[in-house]
Chain A
């Protein structure tokens, strides 16, 4: 059996995973080593995964909104590409809205994204010049959910402690992102990224992604609760993952346009 990690950890890990071509200034080999471990754990773990996700979006005024959806994911066996489906179940009026993503991890590639709106019975392809758009109004960016392409950043070790290691990442194309750099802390035992701090031009942390709760599921450490905070407004989004299952036999045709209009209900229960 392949070494499988929860694909959900990849969600966070991808943000700090190291590109093979990048060389950090202080300790490139060491940073690369950690990033590679994290990348491997995240990208190449498991063929399929399923999770029921609940997002609680809390704004600066403590007003709450909820979103609920099921995530299906399947890895491409040959490369780092992935297929994803997001089926919304709540709020009731957006039920059956579906996102379909074909994530391409190659050099200079963009993901393919589609959207299905049941009320209008319309399938749309979504194009975006960048991936830093909000994921359905939450504090997570689309990129936080689909995974930031690791080739876009360079890494160096910021701090190496007994149980954790911190990598400082900078975007190769600074104009494509709103942050100046980010600092990701990786748990040495699980390789899970437990905290990512985004820094602005003045070196201030303005955004934070944290793993709030991790569990071992089917033998693998898994983030079951993560939180992204907007440190400027005080708003945050809490994401809870439930009913996590790996290695479900999900056939390829589930990840096609056909599922947009006819969701694979047996995976959504």
Chain B
């Protein structure tokens, strides 16, 4: 303390330098909006998802739709679609060959006299209504396109735009919007898709950080001014808050972490928390300082009293946030870790800055500070009202608490775990509107991939080789790599055969034959029974709610079969011969877009992918689809040597949600344990520690019960709230119990103590609750729904747990006191 005052200038300079140093890191901010990052880089499901994206050349896709009220297939609209398609193809950040649009796909068609025709579906915009109708008929005749490229009612069409780099999608979307705005059909276009949504997140996160966080600062400032009516008093805690935010965010960014949707709320979380300690010190100082006493001495006195409760409330709050480290979701971990550390930084800064600040205050300012203490405000009045209620209706509060807990448990069983990143936008957002429109008219813009792979091992070169190789071939055999692919091996054998040696020919032909057979047995996705199984599964899946469509190589085989055999729908079926399937697929590859095949099956035919289009991005939809497939494979076992795995964004969302639910329980238990241990150390009584945990437990139970009853989805923001509110709201109980305990030790009269508690101590608790709660209110005006959720529930939990603290703790203390006294009396009686 002495050091602080004697070196105040250098200490302040050091702090300012640290703050500036951290502020200097801020411009390097990197926004991360990729939901994939909810899983760690090496998470098996994420690794598999990316491997599948690579294997099947799947890119992030911008979805551009046009939807009109009457008929879309009119020359004018088609001309616009064609113009937009050509404009898209000219963009260097677009994967040209995979753009799906009426203008870029092939129409493979059986026409008269046994002719098969390959032609672009819409080579150029049609010049007559009749030709436009022809294009509609052709598109709807191809099941892969129906309700994917063109809506079944012919009123809408989608252009799928795969992008080379999703960072460019905002740029692509902007030039597209500009181009479309000049078209006659401009009002009918809709744009969505994950890369667009992610980019939009980033933009709106900046809005939140640039507007909501300063707004929170202003709200806190205004609130404190209402409480203390002194700018000079509240300036120091505000400085602590701002310094804390800058140091924490600067450290986060400087250490190379990206700012995710959770971390973007760090400022708004830290500000009210950081202010609270300073308010305590100033309040206490104003109480102890009589206008003439020695400033330094008073400060020392104040800190002696407050150090322990401040340390403990900081530790418990910090523990609440740090417990998020137990949740295996990196952005949540970073959020928890940095707020947890930020709280400790705020604690340290408060201890350093506030004393120096008070010490440097002029005499008139100090006088003013003293006068604040004598002001009685509305809050104090409110506290005495609460006090009366608490003291006079004890049984009502106990009954109510028990009732709330009971109901809460019922409510919690109704909790629906669900999330949907698109719903993070408000319902009137451009993306939500496009999303709703396109999912109403098409098979769905949400993707999941069901991947079926061959697990059988291939034979080694030695196993495939006939016995007694000719001596002449020994050097060649020795040169063959053990892991050579079977088709390459066959090639090598061909090369040897080509050397035309009679003595080796027979042996080589035999070798070639076994290798060919081995290749055949590996090409599992050409086998009719396997395809038949997948076909039935696909049809069963399409009957599920929200599964608009399942697309697979089977749709290609059936299409080719129909168009090659007769063009009649009765031939839209799987041929039962392996060679027929292979030959149909070879013909498919003679189109303008042979590469489309490899989005569904690998060139070695050992792995295939079912593309599930779903009309809902809800995790519960994905969850039920996944459960359906699990059940299905139980009653209909997969063919031998096959395995089934999931990939796709919708599936990844489900995975991290499951991680989150499990992880949050651990976080909650972890935070609860840490807070309870701190309570034990502080209060040195198991009973008091249990009592201390009661208000927050009741509040959290109540809130989650309510969530269950009103049917609000248990999503990421809601999940994150539990652990951290535990750390925040225990502060009220700490302040209440510490002060009640020390008062009771002196007064020995529980009634007097409780009456005292509803004067000064309750006022401080209510002030803090209001500062923290109102600090979160600006989040209600944020552009993204998770912010609003967090703002609303945190504010609600803060206020409710403060109220519960004030209503329940007196009852508990009263009861505990009577019980202890009776026991002492009993003991006394026995000793007599």
Cross-chain contact A142 with B590 (CB below 8 angstroms): yes
Q: B155 within 8 Å of A by Cβ?
A: no
- Given A92-B520, A93-B520, A118-B579 contact (CB < 8 Å): yes
Chain B residue nearest in CB terms to A58: B603
* Interface 9-mer from B433-441, B490-498, B667-675: B490-498
CB distance from A189 to the nearest CB of B (A): 28
In the complex, how many angstroms separate the beta carbon of B713 from the nearest chain A beta carbon? 39
Closest to B578 in A: A93
| Chain A residue nearest to B113 in the complex (CB) | A125
Stretch of B115-123, B458-466, B628-636, B687-695 at the chain-chain interface: B115-123
Query: Do A129 and B120 touch (CB < 8 A)?
Result: yes
B498 touching A128, Cβ below 8 Å: no
Q: Given B116, B490, B491, which contacts A115 in the complex, CB threshold below 8 Å?
A: B116
B119→A129 contact, CB < 8 A = yes
Roughly how many angstroms separate A222 CA and B322 CA in the complex, as a whole number? 74
- Check: A97 CB closer than 8 A to any chain B CB: yes
Q: Is there contact, CB below 8 Å, between B583 and A94? A: yes
Contacting residues, chain A, for B114 (C-beta < 8 A): 123-125
> Could you tell me the distance between the alpha carbons of A115 and B520 in the complex, rounded to whole angstroms?
24
Within the complex, what minimum Cβ distance (angstroms) separates B78 from chain A?
A: 16
Within 8 Å of chain B (Cβ to Cβ): is A126? yes
State which size class the interface on B falls in. Answer: 35 or more
Q: Are A128 and B565 in contact (CB under 8 A)?
A: no
Instruction: Tell me whether B90 is interfacial, beta carbon within 8 Å.
Output: yes
Contact for B487 among A64, A95, A135, A175, CB less than 8 A: A64
B119 touches A120 (CB 8 A): no
B583 in contact with A119 (CB, 8 Å): yes
User: Is B592 an interface residue, CB under 8 A from the partner?
Assistant: yes
Q: Are A133 and B118 in contact, with the CB atoms below 8 A?
A: yes
Query: What 0/1 readout, one digit per residue, does chain B (458-491) give for beta carbons within 8 Å of chain A?
Result: 0000000000000000000000000001011011
A126-B118, A127-B117 known; A61+B55 contact, CB < 8 A:
yes
Q: Is the CB of B590 within 8 A of A135?
A: yes
Closest A residue by C-beta to B563: A124
Q: Contact check: which of B54, B115, B487, B575 meets A119 at CB < 8 Å?
A: B575
Residue of A61, A63, A91 near B519 (CB, 8 A) is: A91
Q: Which residues of A contact B115 (CB under 8 A)?
A: 124-127
Measured in the bound complex, the distance between the Cα atoms of B520 and A242 in whole Å is 25
On chain A, the residues within 8 Å of B726 by CB distance are: none
Q: Is the CB of B564 within 8 A of A94?
A: no
**CA distance in complex: A115, B119 (Å):** 17
Contact of A124 with B116 in the complex, beta carbons under 8 Å: yes
A137 within 8 A of B: yes
If A64-B487, A126-B116 touch, whether A93 touches B582 (CB-CB below 8 Å) is yes
**Minimum Cβ distance to chain A for residue B560 (Å):** 10
B410 within 8 A of A: no
Interface members, chain A 116-149 (any B CB < 8 Å): 117-120, 122-130, 132-137, 142
Mark out the residues of chain B between 489 and 515 whose CB falls within 8 Å of any chain A CB in the assembled complex: 490-491, 494, 498
Tell me the smallest distance from the CB of B516 to a CB of chain A, in Å: 5
Q: Which A residues lie within 8 Å of B494 (CB)? A: 54, 68
A225 CB to nearest chain B CB (Å): 13
Residues of B within 8 A of A127 (CB): 111, 115-118
Q: Does B602 contact A (CB under 8 A)?
A: yes
B111 and chain A: residue at smallest CB distance: A127
Contact A63/B602 with A54-B491, A117-B587, A127-B117 known, Cβ cut-off 8 Å: yes
Query: Is the CB–CB distance between A122 and B565 below 8 Å?
Result: yes
Q: Interface of chain A, helix or strand or loop or mixed?
A: mixed
- A118–B583 CB distance below 8 A: yes
Q: A91-B519, A97-B586, A129-B123 are in contact. Are A119 and B580 (CB under 8 A)?
A: yes
From the candidates B55, B490, B498, B523, name the one contacting A66 in the complex (CB within 8 A).
Answer: B490
**Is B36 on the interface with A (CB-CB < 8 A)?**
no
Of the listed residues A92, A94, A129, the one surrounded by the most CB atoms of chain B closer than 10 A to its CB is A92
With A63-B604, A125-B113: A242-B119 Cβ-Cβ less than 8 Å: no
Write the chain A residue with the least CB distance to B54: A61
Contact A120 B603 (CB under 8 A): no
Q: How far is the CB of B564 from chain A (nearest CB, A)?
A: 6
Cα of A97 to Cα of B594 in the assembled complex, Å: 18
In the complex, A27 has a CB within 8 A of chain B: no
> B599-624: which residues lie under 8 A (CB-CB) from chain A?
602-604
Is B124 close to A, CB under 8 A? yes
**A59 is an interface residue with CB less than 8 A from chain B:** yes
How many residues in A have their beta carbons less than 8 Å from beta carbons of B? Answer: 45
Beta-carbon contact of B116 and A125 below 8 Å: yes
CA distance A68 to B565 in the complex (A): 25
**Is A122 within 8 A of B564, CB to CB?**
yes
Residues of B contacting A117 in the complex (Cβ-Cβ under 8 angstroms): 564, 580, 583-584, 587
Contact of A93 among B96, B111, B498, B526 (CB under 8 A): B526
Q: Name the distance in Å between A212's Cβ and chain B's nearest Cβ.
A: 16
What 1/0 mask marks residues of chain A from 51 to 73 whose CB sits below 8 Å from any chain B CB?
A: 00010110111011110100000
Contact A128 B119, CB 8 Å, known A61-B54, A122-B564, A201-B90? yes
| Cβ-based interface call for B591 (8 A) | yes
Given contacts A91-B519, A126-B116, A127-B117, contact A134 B111 (CB under 8 A): no
Closest residue of A by beta carbon distance from B96: A232
List residues of chain B with CB within 8 A of the CB of A115: 116, 587
CB-CB < 8 A to B591: which residues of A?
Answer: 133-134
Return the chain B residue nearest A95 by Cβ.
B579
- How far does the alpha carbon of A86 sit from the alpha carbon of B408 in the complex, in Å? 76
Bound Cα distance A114, B523 (Å): 28
**Bound form: Cα–Cα A60–B575 in Å:** 31
Shortest Cβ distance from B580 into A: residue: A119
Q: Which residues of B contact A97 (CB under 8 A)?
A: 583, 586
- Let me know if B357 is at the binding interface, CB within 8 A: no
| A95 CB contacts on chain B under 8 angstroms | 579
Question: Within the complex, what minimum Cβ distance (angstroms) separates A213 from chain B?
Answer: 15
What residues of chain B lie closer than 8 Å to A91, measured between beta carbons? Answer: 487, 519, 582
With A91-B519, A91-B582, A92-B520 already in contact, the answer to whether A133 and B590 are too (CB < 8 A) is: yes
Contacts of B582 in A (CB 8 A): 91, 93-94, 119
Chain B neighbourhood of A59, CB < 8 A: 598, 603
CB <8 Å contact, B589 and A134: yes
Docked Cα-Cα span, A119 to B578, in Å, equals 9
Are the C-beta atoms of A120 and B590 separated by less than 8 Å?
Answer: no
Taking the complex as formed, is B7 at the interface, i.e. its CB lies under 8 A from any CB of chain A? no
Q: Is there an interface contact between A137 and B565, defined as CB atoms closer than 8 Å?
A: no
Contact of A134 among B485, B488, B594 (CB under 8 A): B594
Which residues of B, 398-445, contact A by the 8 Å Cβ criterion?
A: none
Contacts of A119 in B (CB 8 A): 575, 577, 579-580, 582-583
Chain B, 549-607, CB within 8 A of any chain A CB? 564-565, 575, 577-584, 586-587, 589-592, 594, 597-598, 602-604
Most A-side CB within 10 Å, residue of B491, B520, B577, B590 = B590
What is the CA–CA distance of A56 and B488 in the complex, to the nearest angstrom? 9
Q: What is the bound-complex CA distance between A126 and B114, given in angstroms?
A: 9
Q: Compute how far the CA of A137 lies from the CA of B590 in the bound complex, rounded to whole angstroms.
A: 6
CB distance from A208 to the nearest CB of B (A): 16
C-alpha gap A27/B93 in the complex (Å): 38
Task: Name the residue among A65, A123, A127 with the largest chain B CB count within 10 angstroms.
Answer: A127
Mark out the residues of chain B between 17 and 66 whose CB falls within 8 Å of any chain A CB in the assembled complex. Answer: 54-55, 57
Residues of A within 8 A of B579 (CB): 93-95, 118-119
Q: Identify 8 residue pairs between A and B in the complex whose beta-carbon atoms are under 8 Å apart, listed by A's number.
A: A65-B603, A117-B584, A119-B575, A119-B580, A120-B580, A126-B118, A128-B118, A133-B118
Closest 6 CB pairs of A and B: A137-B589, A93-B582, A119-B580, A119-B579, A129-B119, A134-B594
Interface residues of A (CB under 8 A from B): 54, 56-57, 59-61, 63-66, 68, 90-95, 97, 115, 117-120, 122-130, 132-137, 142, 175, 201, 232-233, 242-243
